[in-house]
Amino acid sequence: MPRICFNLALDAATERGIQALRTQVAQGGITPPTSTSSTYRPHITLAVYDVDDLTRYEEVLAPVAALFAPFPIRLDSFGIFPEEGVLFLAPRMSHTLFALHDHVLQAFASLSSADRPPALSDDWLLPDQWVPHVTLAGKLAARQVVLGLEVCLHQWTARQGTATAIGLRIFPEAADYRRYPFSASLRT
């Protein structure tokens, strides 16, 4: 059963800046796992589901993306999930970011019970508990987390970018499968 990840895609310049920070973290003594390698595009996860068939879920994403225009996003802090050994950048919350997450979850919740995917797999993705973040490195030992935090402190600059699309990623391959560009002319 594949796992699908719906994510917020960022503009190319912001992706390059995040990749550069990932490289600096890796050069600071942390070897990033496959999930944060150069082939794993930086993103903010909106939802993750285990599904049997992608088709029904792809049909839901395009209309949600059409509701939104590209919008500014500012990555202005970093943090950790200590229990997972994850080092991440965090966006400043905005109404648009919150609304996008809510629209994605509502689109899937409104499907018939036969089509609705199982519950979200991680607590930090749930409504009213969502912790939006861009992973820099994961599955780190405590010492690696400390080294990564040091690198981030010394290399820190806030990053202003643009959210451009909803992406669909398939696991375990961690392959970018499809993107649904934001196309509305007005922000929500």
Q: Do the beta carbons of residue 96 and residue 84 sit within 8 Å?
A: no
Residue 172 lies in a domain: yes
Residue 121 lies in a domain: yes
Residue 56 lies in a domain: yes
pLDDT (average), residues 17-36: 76
Mean pLDDT of the chain: 85
Residue 149 lies in a domain: no
Nearest residue to 138 (alpha-carbon basis) of 26, 11, 27: 26
Q: How confident is the model at residue 188 (pLDDT cuts 50, 70, 90)?
A: very low
Residue 154 lies in a domain: no
When mean pLDDT is compared across 17-31, 44-58, 157-171, the lowest value belongs to: 44-58
Q: For 93-140, what is each residue's pLDDT tens digit?
A: 999 999 999 999 898 888 777 777 776 666 777 778 899 999 999 999
Pairwise CA distance, residues 136 & 126, whole Å: 21
Predicted TM-score (pTM) of the model is 0.88
Residue 139 lies in a domain: no
Structural domain boundaries enclosing 173: 3-73+95-132+162-181
Query: Torsions phi, psi of 110, nearest 5?
Result: -85, -5
Burial of residue 127 (CB within 10 Å: 0-12, 13-18, 19+) is: exposed
Query: Could you give the number of structural domains in the chain?
Result: 1
Residue 151 lies in a domain: no
Residue 46 lies in a domain: yes
pLDDT (average), residues 47-70: 85
Would you state the pLDDT for residue 30?
Answer: 73
Would you state the pLDDT for residue 176?
Answer: 80
Q: How confident is the model at residue 186 (pLDDT cuts 50, 70, 90)?
A: low
Q: How confident is the model at residue 33 (pLDDT cuts 50, 70, 90)?
A: very low
Match 């010492």 to its residue by tokens: 143
